[in-house]
Amino acid sequence: MPQPTDIKLRTSSRLLDVRFDDGSHFELPFEYLRVFSPSAEVKGHGGGEGVLQTGKQNVGITGVEPVGNYALRLLFDDGHNTGLYTWSLLHELGRDYRRNWARYLERCAAAGKSAQKPVGEV
């Protein structure tokens, strides 16, 4: 699995900028990271697609804490801080951004919630 070589928190553009040793580079919007958090609160406890997170368009990240040599804990300004973003998860989120976000928009529409493509491209 690729390992990160550089991680930058870009608060003004609301992006987590991650570069990996395989040459991949992803700019992950804060909203995307929040709604795809690996926490039990978001993933749910019974499988499936988890709990739909909405209203996170303006969420910020106030801190990033390393967890060993394998993950980050992102501290969101809405109080959420329980998900551990492993290197493999960050890479997968970057690689699958367009597909994940399209599915998220479908789920929001089905639930009658509004959502939009976050600022920033992956």
What pLDDT score does 50 carry? 82
pLDDT tier at 114, thresholds 50, 70, 90? confident
What pLDDT score does 44 carry? 74
Sheet strands side by side (includes 61-67): 61-67, 71-76, 84-86
How many Cβ atoms are within 10 Å of 50's Cβ, its own excluded?
Answer: 19
Angle at 11 between CA 117 and CA 51, to 5 degrees: 45
What pLDDT score does 46 carry? 65
pTM for the full predicted model: 0.91
pLDDT digits (tens, 9 = 90+) for 70-103: 999 999 999 999 999 999 999 999 999 999 999 9
Q: Which amino acid is at 88?
A: S
pLDDT digits (tens, 9 = 90+) for 31-55: 999 999 999 888 876 666 788 999 9
CA pair distance 31, 56, nearest whole angstrom: 6
For the chain, helix, strand, coil in percent to 5 are 25, 30, 45
Domain ranges for the chain: 4-110
Considering only CA atoms, give the Rg of the chain.
Answer: 14
Architecture of domain 4-110: 2-Layer Sandwich (3.30)
Residues 112-121, mean pLDDT to the nearest whole number: 68
